[in-house]
Structure 1
Amino acid sequence: MNSGISQDFQMEITCPICMNYFIDPVTIDCGHSFCRPCFYFNWQDIPILTQCFECMKTTWQRNLKTNIHLKQMAFLARKVSLWLFLSSEEQMCGTHRETKKMFCEVDKSLLCLLCSSSQEHQYHRHRPIEWAAEEHREKLLKKMQSLWEKACENQRNLNVETTRISHWKDYVNLRLEAMRAEYQKTAAFHHEEEKHNLAMLKKKGKDIFHQLHLSKAKMAHRREILRGMYEELKEMCHKPDVELLQGFGDILHRSESVLLHMPQPLNLELSAGPITGLRDKLIQF
């Protein structure tokens, strides 16, 4: 907690889940507020309805609006924390003995105003540290929203494959019974053909069953990758401003790569060989 801010005020702008200052706070139906990333983080089944972490009342999880007032208060609290940090003796500019207020976008360094206008940095892009940090936070939050949407899509696809797997054996057995019933209506000398076609149908059914399991495993693995990336972005958002700016690195690029190559449900068909004599019987009918 920040000694420069009263404890009561700090509690008002602290998320009860992560115990950090709010990032993108949302207020749900019961009146309690949380960081949106914390509230959305349970990706096990992504229900539309969920429970409040404070009072356990059921609430809608979708289409939550950012609480602008709480977001602004959290920004001000981080700003106070930043200035307390920068005002310490070890953070003063060694050359000009001034507070470092600026962030250089090129070499990711903190500079005092005199250093930022020096020959070395005069053509670099500079921003006040607190605004640069908030801009980076907003980029992270935007990327987290994309990850969340992809996680929802991936979970829906995973549910589709899980349902297909649970019904697939019944469907194959139904096709086998239908084929046996048709062969019972044909001459006995088609026994070898029946045996061959039944074996082929079983093999194709087994192959598709295996493909569905592989598809489900890929989606489950992708869910964990998305979840891990989401948590990494969330942790970066919660870092103090200076740590966020200097540790930003390639995290956005890595999150982009996670969004590529999302596994999709398989479009599979169970074909079967022709039954001798059935076409003639249908023509006669």
Structure 2
Amino acid sequence: MESDLSQSFQKELTCFICLSCLTDPVTIICGHSFCRACLHLSREDIQPPVRCPLCREQYGKKLRTNIVLKKLVSIVRQASLMKDLSSEEQKCVTHEDTKRIFCAENRIFLCPLCSNSHEHRGHRHCPIEAAAEDQMDRLLKQMTSLWEKVQENQENLEAENRMRTLWTDYLTLREEMIRTEYRKLHPLLCEEEEKHIESMRNEGQCVLEKLRTSETMMVQKRKELREMYQELLAMSQEPYVVLLQGLDDMFRRSESMQLSMPQPIKTELNALPITGLIESYNQFQVRIPLPNITMIHHKINLFNAMRRLSFRPHRTNLDYRS
């Protein structure tokens, strides 16, 4: 009976997606619960609307932590940790006592007497249960930070794809505009027109090539970030005994990966002059001597001053009339 109850309890704390104990459990609108990371990964390649993996009901992007389930999972993990520590292989050989102290410097388990020894006395110590919870919190924060970078990279990739299409359309429109201007100004300058178009096309193709290179880098970055995220997820599902052995190298790789994010490139074309355009506009210029401009400026200022004076009532006149 007790065994059946334990199995039923364990089943309720199992994620349907990864089939492991829930990690940072979230409950969606239909009431079913999954690992937060499992939902993130499962919905990435699914076109909206996104549905529950169990009942197929639609749910939104916002995910809320199930606090009760999270506490229950912590209790189960702590009980599993205590069971592992009570085994013979985890007992102190010297003092034949259970190792319940965690040494943060050496990242090893110690019995109370060993933690007070000359070798470890100056080190930071804490109960293994507390150290395990802290390590799990660090891991979940790292996963949150990494997933934000996954989303940022995906948004940049989608923007780069849209920009490539828009840039191609813009080059076509720019070419039409250039041809229109040449036909209006110089119908006979065919050679200059083609040189201008060719220069614009070459520059536009260079930008397109940069966009393709940037897109390739983002696709590769997406792969690396997802692999790193899956590695962190796999580690989060390990028992606390394994989790405490050290994740510093994994954290360093994750943080380093987040620092080097490919950024969208700026798209622009140089404004090449159209032959004869300036000469055509010069015929509409009007030269005004500087003294005349100065005189006009003074007259305008004087007119504005007089206008302000004429519309400003005199204080004594108002008082007299009233």
TM-score (ref. length: structure 2): 0.82
Residue 175 of structure 1 corresponds to which residue in structure 2? 174
CA distance in 2 between counterparts of 1:45 and 1:171 reads 31
Map Cα deviations across residues 101-121 of structure 1 (whole Å, 9 max, x no partner): 111111111111121122211
- 2:264 is the alignment partner of 1:251: no
Map Cα deviations across residues 146-165 of structure 1 (whole Å, 9 max, x no partner): 11111111111111110111
- Percent identity over the alignment is 47
Shift in Å, 1:43: 6.7
Residue 102 of structure 1 corresponds to which residue in structure 2? 101
Structure 1 unaligned runs (5+)? none
1:213 counterpart letter in structure 2: R
Residue 136 of structure 1 corresponds to which residue in structure 2? 135
Shift in Å, 1:130: 2.0
Structure scoring higher RCO (CA < 8 A, sep ≥ 6) equals: 1
CA distance in 1 between counterparts of 2:5 and 2:209 reads 59
Indicate the SS of the match to 2:59: strand
Map Cα deviations across residues 75-103 of structure 1 (whole Å, 9 max, x no partner): 11111111221222222111111111111
Residue 262 of structure 1 corresponds to which residue in structure 2? 261
Question: 1:155, 1:223 within 8 Å by CA — same for their partners in 2?
Answer: yes
1:216 counterpart letter in structure 2: E
Question: 1:104, 1:111 within 8 Å by CA — same for their partners in 2?
Answer: yes
Indicate the SS of the match to 2:199: helix
Kindly report the root-mean-square deviation, in angstroms, between the aligned alpha carbons of the 2 structures: 2.1
Equivalenced residues, count: 282
CA distance in 1 between counterparts of 2:282 and 2:52 reads 65
Shift in Å, 1:189: 4.7
Indicate the SS of the match to 2:245: helix
Map Cα deviations across residues 150-203 of structure 1 (whole Å, 9 max, x no partner): 111111111111011123222211111221122222335522211211110110
Radius of gyration: which is bigger?
Answer: 2
Give the alignment of 1:136-155 within 5 angstroms: 136-155=135-154
Residue 15 of structure 1 corresponds to which residue in structure 2? 15
User: Which structure: greater helix fraction?
Assistant: 2
CA distance in 1 between counterparts of 2:130 and 2:105 reads 16
* More divergent stretch after superposition (114-123 vs 32-41): 114-123
Residue 50 of structure 1 corresponds to which residue in structure 2? 50
Map Cα deviations across residues 53-78 of structure 1 (whole Å, 9 max, x no partner): 1111110122x221111111111111
From the superposition, tell whether residues 128 and 4 of structure 1 become closer, same or farther in structure 2 (CA, over 3 Å). farther
- 2:59 is the alignment partner of 1:59: yes
1:11 counterpart letter in structure 2: K
Structure 2 unaligned runs (5+)? 285-322
Give the alignment of 1:1-285 within 5 angstroms: 6-42=6-42, 44=44, 50-62=50-62, 64-282=63-281
Question: 2:115, 2:121 within 8 Å by CA — same for their partners in 1?
Answer: yes
Indicate the SS of the match to 1:39: helix
CA distance in 1 between counterparts of 2:5 and 2:227 reads 33
CA distance in 2 between counterparts of 1:57 and 1:284 reads 71
Question: 2:84, 2:241 within 8 Å by CA — same for their partners in 1?
Answer: no
